[in-house]
């Protein structure tokens, strides 16, 4: 049995459960349930506070965890990241009241900074030779400048809407964060074997999310040029059409390069291009 910890609520919780579901791991979890077993895979999921997860990994209570790399930077630098998962992206930033002037990092000298990430902030300030006073707050730190508790905050930022609503502006970007898969320090061979199977499934799901399946028609004299534009797989599938001298090509393209590749394909003579999402991609 593999024990996986995920955040008990919020966006990271939702996206983590969605990833497990896409990996064929169905979790029977009810409201406010702190532990749930999978129906079809030897997995138990623990729903925990994000900041507590690194210690659960060290203590061997759980074998794997999906958590934000910002939490790992703050509380788990000694733990091993085995997969970058690419979702729940955000950043850790310093923000100040929107009406305050800001000329650079020197403006933080001797300021009061409210944060839930004291280790991250102290490391950043020490690296830049800045002395400041930290107020550690577990929870919403955005209110701190408005009630006179701090001159600035350091917190995670996604869209920036929470800062805007609290009359704050982002002035320094400290680090980027995304969901990562983290492994406990000491695991036996059986556990490592199951973890390899979970990682294999996750890799197939993540690969599919970054790719699109493409079908197109082209005259046979264009096949070689068009094939050179479709580098994701070893070679496109080429099927003859009923129309003499024409074929259908099937392949995969990177979603991030979608429009650039489409423009190249059109210029090379591709016609009737269809693009479809991919559920899983196993190499």
Indicate the CATH number for domain 211-277: 3.30.70.120
Distance CA 21, CA 274 (A): 28
Measured distance CA(278)–CA(257) in Å, rounded: 16
The pLDDT tens digits of the residues spanning 259-273 come to: 999 999 999 999 999
Reply yes or no on whether the pLDDT at 30 is more than 80. Answer: no
Domain 2-88+178-208 listed as CATH 3.40.190.10? yes
Rounded to whole angstroms, the Cα distance separating 27 from 35 reads 10
Q: CA 25: distance to chain centroid?
A: 19
Asked if pLDDT for residue 3 goes beyond 90, the answer is yes
| Predicted TM-score of the model (pTM) | 0.85
Q: Which pLDDT score, from 0 to 100, does residue 87 have? A: 93
pLDDT value for 10: 87
The residues, ordered by sequence, that sit 6+ positions from 26 with a Cβ below 8 Å of its Cβ are 38, 39, 40, 41
Note the pLDDT tens digit of each residue in 125-166: 999 999 999 999 987 899 999 899 999 999 999 988 999 999
- 90-177 belongs to which CATH class? alpha beta
End-to-end alpha carbon distance in the chain: 27
Query: Among residues of the chain, what percentage have pLDDT more than 90?
Result: 83
Do domains 2-88+178-208 and 90-177 share one topology? The answer is yes
Average pLDDT, the chain: 93
What percent of the chain lies above the pLDDT cut of 70? 99
Domain ranges of the chain: 2-88+178-208, 90-177, 211-277
pLDDT bucket at 33, cuts 50 / 70 / 90: confident
């Amino acid at each position: 049995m593999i024990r996986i910890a995920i955040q008990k609520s919020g966006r990271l919780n939702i996206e983590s459960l969605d990833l497990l579901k896409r990996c064929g791991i169905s979790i029977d979890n009810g409201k406010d349930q702190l532990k749930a077993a999978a129906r079809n895979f030897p997995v138990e999921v623990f729903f925990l506070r994000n900041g507590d997860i690194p210690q659960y990994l060290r203590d061997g209570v759980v074998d794997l965890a999906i958590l934000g790399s910002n939490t790992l930077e703050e509380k788990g630098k000694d733990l091993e990241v085995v997969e970058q998962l690419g979702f729940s992206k955000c950043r850790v930033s310093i923000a100040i009241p929107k009406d305050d002037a800001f000329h650079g990092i020197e403006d933080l000298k001797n300021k009061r900074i409210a944060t839930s990430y004291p280790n991250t902030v102290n490391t950043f300030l020490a690296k830049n030779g800045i002395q400041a006073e930290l107020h550690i707050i577990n929870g919403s730190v955005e209110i701190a400048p408005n009630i006179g508790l701090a001159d600035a905050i350091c917190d995670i930022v996604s869209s920036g809407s929470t800062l805007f609503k609290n009359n704050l502006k982002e002035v320094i970007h400290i680090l980027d964060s995304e969901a990562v898969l983290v492994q406990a320090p000491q695991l036996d061979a059986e556990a490592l074997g199951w973890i390899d199977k979970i990682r294999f499934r996750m890799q197939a799901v993540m690969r599919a999310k970054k790719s699109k399946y493409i079908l197109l028609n082209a005259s046979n004299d264009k096949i070689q040029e068009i094939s050179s534009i479709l580098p994701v797989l070893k070679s496109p599938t080429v099927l003859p059409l009923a129309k003499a001298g024409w074929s259908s090509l099937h392949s995969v393209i990177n979603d991030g390069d979608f429009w650039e590749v489409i423009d190249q394909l059109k210029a090379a003579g591709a016609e009737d291009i269809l693009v479809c999402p991919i559920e899983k991609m196993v190499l």
